[in-house]
Amino acid sequence: MITLTHYMVVSAALFCIGLYVILSKKNAVQILIGIELMLNAAILNLVAFSRFDKVNNSGQSFALFTIVLAAASTAVALAIVLNVYRRYKTIDPGKVNQLKD
């Protein structure tokens, strides 16, 4: 039987891996992957709490809303990364220090 604690442990592990990726990588795409891992950890928590909350089931609707927001934000972030690469020929956020002309 999978309990709420199991979901919380997996979610915490996903969140920590995402945080490590964000803090350790210098590639913008890898940073986006880390952000997605952290969002997936939050979504897993929402779904887990919804599964064990037999009365409301509001966690699933919040999870769906979060998935839509994550997809939209990823699309915008990838567009920004592509424009930065076109302009500066790098996707290292540390090397892009001048954003205006």
Task: Please tell me the pTM assigned to this model.
Answer: 0.80
Beta strands in the chain (DSSP E): none
Distance, CA of 91 to CA of 28 (rounded, Å): 6
Give how far the C-alpha of residue 63 lies from the chain's centroid of Cα atoms, to the nearest Å. 13
| Token pair 């302009």: residue | 87
- Give me Rg for the CA atoms of the chain: 17
pLDDT, one tens digit per residue, over 44-86 is: 998 888 888 877 777 788 888 888 988 998 899 999 889 888 8
**Mean pLDDT for the stretch of residues 12-23:** 96
Structural domains for the chain: 4-89 (1.10.287.3510)
